[in-house]
Amino acid sequence: MKVNNDFIKWGGSRTIAIPYDIDSEDLQSLLRQINGVLFTGGGLDLVDKKTRKEHPYFTTAKRIVNYSKWMKDVKNQDWPVMGICQGLQTISIMHSYDDIDVLNDINIYGKELKVDWDVAANTQSKMF
């Protein structure tokens, strides 16, 4: 999607596509050549609610997040992973130990919700 490509380019980086069904060896080789990943939005069923079978996208995403953790824990290097829309849902499910029910159905259309940024409480955050 062009908007995701532009988003990364405006930040001073280049984009490459990672095939969602890439084999593990090729993925590891590719990850050593890049410095972070953006999980974009989409409309996949990441995990089948009946069978609990993972979509190949979700399996690959887990490998990528584990690589990021390894880079931080073992190499002491930041290797960012960012998620937008379904990308954030993907990360959220992973960090809830693959509990797909962690995502609630919330209808927010037509409602105004206030966002209250507490910068003073987050002085250690790289986001602030």
CATH number of the domain bearing residue 34: 3.40.50.880
Phi, psi of 76 (to 5 degrees): 55, 40
Residue 80 lies inside a defined structural domain of this protein: yes
CA-to-CA distance for 119 and 125, rounded, in angstroms?
9
Domain that holds residue 38: 2-122
Calculate mean pLDDT across residues 20-25. 95
Q: pLDDT at position 10, please?
A: 85
Q: Give the Å distances, CA to CA, from 46 to 3, 13, 15, 91.
A: 23, 28, 23, 11
Calculate mean pLDDT across residues 104-121. 74
Tell me: pLDDT of 127 over 70.
Answer: no
pTM across the whole model: 0.76
CA-to-CA distance for 54 and 72, rounded, in angstroms?
26
Q: Can you spell out the DSSP letters for 6-75?
A: HHHHHTT-------TT--HHHHHHHHTT-S-EEE------SB-TTT-PBPHHHHHHHHHHHHHHHHHHTT
Number of domains in the chain: 1
For 87-106, the pLDDT digits (tens) are 999 999 998 888 888 887 76
Residue 50 lies inside a defined structural domain of this protein: yes
Phi, psi of 38 (to 5 degrees): -115, 120
For the CA atoms of the chain, what is the radius of gyration?
16
Q: pLDDT at position 102, please?
A: 83
For 63-92, the pLDDT digits (tens) are 999 999 999 999 999 999 999 999 999 999
Q: How confident is the model at residue 110 (pLDDT cuts 50, 70, 90)?
A: confident
Residue 128 lies inside a defined structural domain of this protein: no
